[in-house]
Structure 1
Amino acid sequence: MPTDLKQKITEDMKIAMRAGNTKQRDTIRLLQAAIKQREVDERITLDDAAVIAVIEKMLKQRKDSIAQYEAAQRFDLANNEKDEISILSVYMPKPFDDSEINTLISEAITEVGAVSMQNMGKVMAILKPKLVGRADMSKVSILIKEKMST
């Protein structure tokens, strides 16, 4: 059973093909291939959260490539990656703002009963499923450390 997000991606692919939008079509094909690859490798059907994780990975790869291309003065290739980022970003959920993240962190710390940095792994384990695709986990980690050290 395809997830809502996978169905939307498939529908957008059809629309891009009908419209002759080759850039969008090719980027969505890359996304579909990455999703399919993960499903085959792990012998599972990805849910929306797992699809978002695939998209996040692809976005990170493109951001890394942009930095390398710009350092090498290859702005044509960097712009290509930026176009792909704008196409892929459409499928990401709305990011949480800092106050929402801090509220979730406080709730997780209370839920775990965390009193020291030794409990950080438990706090992260609770937060990760809630924040996947909606917050930068390295930033979340820093915020948790700040909260737990006070």
Structure 2
Amino acid sequence: MSELKGKIRADLTTAMKARDKDTTGTLRMLLSALTQEETTGAKHELNDEEVLKVIAREIKKRRESAEVYTENGRQELADVELKEAAILEGYQPEQLDDDQLNALIDEAIAEVGGEADMKKMGQIMKAATAKAAGRADGKRLSTAVKSRLSN
């Protein structure tokens, strides 16, 4: 079992003992998503990097749901989704600030080589995503790369 998945299981046990319904429910949903990921396709146990990808995907789902709820005037449901996202964010590595993100993008552009233009965005995004390794949201990374290439 990956170290991160073990920590999630231990935190679930702690939350259950503390009768923290929000954390318990969120971690159960996360463990369910991890189990589903392990049993779908090539059946194998997830490593920490793969667990982080599932966590990022679950956070993105929660944020998108919260956005839809807010647009439709259901703020109480949006708050629940945002609370779950905040719980899940505790398992992600520390996120990059803007300066670190720009430095990472510069490294990715240098790695790809040649003239940096929109034609090479896919290659730059691939390199930048690998370098970010879960420390930056894909949407934020994409926006930063686009702004960097348009300058």
TM range (shorter): 0.7 to 0.9
TM-score (norm 1): 0.87
* 1:131 positional shift: 1.6
Does the 8 A contact of 2:95 with 2:136 survive in 1? Answer: yes
Structure 1 stretches lacking a partner, 5+ long: none
Alignment partner, residue 48 of structure 1: 48
Structure 2 counterparts to residues 59-78 of structure 1, below 5 A:
59-78=59-78
**Structure 1 residues 110 and 88: alpha-carbon distance in aligned structure 2, compared to 1, 3 A threshold:** same
Q: Which moved more, 1:12-21 or 1:29-38?
A: 12-21
CA distance in 2, matches of 1:148, 1:75: 37
> Deviation string for 1:65-121 (max 9, x for gaps)?
222222333233222212212211111111101111111111121122131332222
Q: Which moved more, 1:8-17 or 1:130-139?
A: 130-139
TM-score (norm 2): 0.87
Identity percentage of aligned residues: 37
> Deviation string for 1:17-41 (max 9, x for gaps)?
1112122111100000001101110
Alignment partner, residue 19 of structure 2: 20
Q: 1:101 and 2:101 equivalent? A: yes
Q: Which moved more, 1:116-125 or 1:37-46?
A: 116-125
Does the 8 A contact of 2:59 with 2:88 survive in 1? Answer: yes
Alignment partner, residue 31 of structure 2: 32
Instruction: Show structure 1 runs of 4+ deviating over 6 A.
Output: none
Alignment partner, residue 90 of structure 1: 90
Alignment partner, residue 58 of structure 1: 58
CA distance in 2, matches of 1:4, 1:102: 30
Alignment partner, residue 120 of structure 2: 119
Structure 2 stretches lacking a partner, 5+ long: none
Q: How many residues align?
A: 149
Alignment partner, residue 110 of structure 1: 110
Whichever residue aligns with residue 93 of structure 2, its letter is: P
Q: CA RMSD in A?
A: 1.8
Q: Which moved more, 1:2-11 or 1:125-134?
A: 125-134
CA distance in 2, matches of 1:114, 1:121: 14
3-state secondary structure, aligned to 1:44: coil
